[in-house]
Structures are given as structure tokens and as C-alpha cells.
């Protein structure tokens, strides 16, 4: 068994994102290319976005800190700390309304 502090990871990735020119940072918590399940903490400084991209598989996003907007083809969803968003099965993008950290879980 392994144990991770998502709170600590969110804090560390947010600090890193604030110091990088891209204003975002990510680290894999669990999984990888050799696993079906992959969990990644992604941090974005306020105003930073991830361009529209294809859905990588069945996925959810747990907002650990801050506030984000998920843009899909037919709707926009807003998530705040503690919200769980189910990723649309279509192209989508993500925008940080505030300094934010999310846990992206993908099952391929």
C-alpha cells in the first residue's frame, strides 16, 4: 500500500506553477502508460488554461483547490474545491478562474 497527501501535492504543484513561465505544473500520483488507471495532480495559476484536447478515456476531475471552468462542445461547467466533474466524452478545455489544483483520474 502507498499513501499520498493530495493536499501537499496540490500546494507543491501550485507553488511550482506560479514560478514557471507556462503557469501550470503537473505530477503523476498513480499509474502511467503501463496502467489502465492514471491519476495526475494538475495546478494552474489564475487565468491559465489548457487548450482544447481530445478526451483520453473515461475521466473525472476532482477540484482540490480553487475554481476552474471546463469547456465542452455543448456546455461549460464550473467546479470549486470539493467538486467532482465528469469529463465529457468529447473535445474539451480547462481554465483556472483562480489559482487551482485538480486531481485528474483517467481510465483507458
Q: What is the pLDDT along the chain (108 residues), one digit of tens a residue?
A: 889 899 999 999 999 999 999 999 999 999 977 888 999 999 999 999 998 878 777 999 999 999 999 998 888 999 999 999 998 888 889 999 999 999 999 998
Q: What is the CATH number of domain 6-107?
A: 2.60.120.10
Domain boundaries, the chain: 6-107
pLDDT at res. 51: 85
Whole-model pTM: value is 0.92
* DSSP per-residue letters across 3-63: ---HHHHHHHHHHHHHHSTT-EEEEEEEE-TTSSEEEEEEEE-TT-EEEEE---SEEEEEE
Amino acid at each position: 500500500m502507498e499513501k499520498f497527501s493530495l493536499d501537499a501535492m496540490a500546494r507543491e504543484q501550485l507553488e511550482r506553477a506560479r514560478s514557471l513561465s507556462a503557469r501550470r505544473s503537473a505530477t503523476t500520483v498513480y499509474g502511467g502508460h503501463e496502467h489502465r488507471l492514471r491519476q495526475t495532480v494538475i495546478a494552474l495559476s489564475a487565468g491559465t488554461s489548457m487548450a482544447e484536447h481530445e478526451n483520453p478515456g473515461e475521466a473525472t476531475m476532482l477540484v482540490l483547490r480553487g475554481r476552474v471552468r471546463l469547456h465542452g462542445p455543448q456546455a461549460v461547467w464550473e467546479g470549486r474545491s470539493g467538486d467532482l466533474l465528469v469529463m465529457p466524452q468529447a473535445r474539451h478545455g480547462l481554465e483556472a478562474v483562480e489559482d487551482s489544483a485538480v486531481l485528474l483520474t483517467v481510465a483507458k
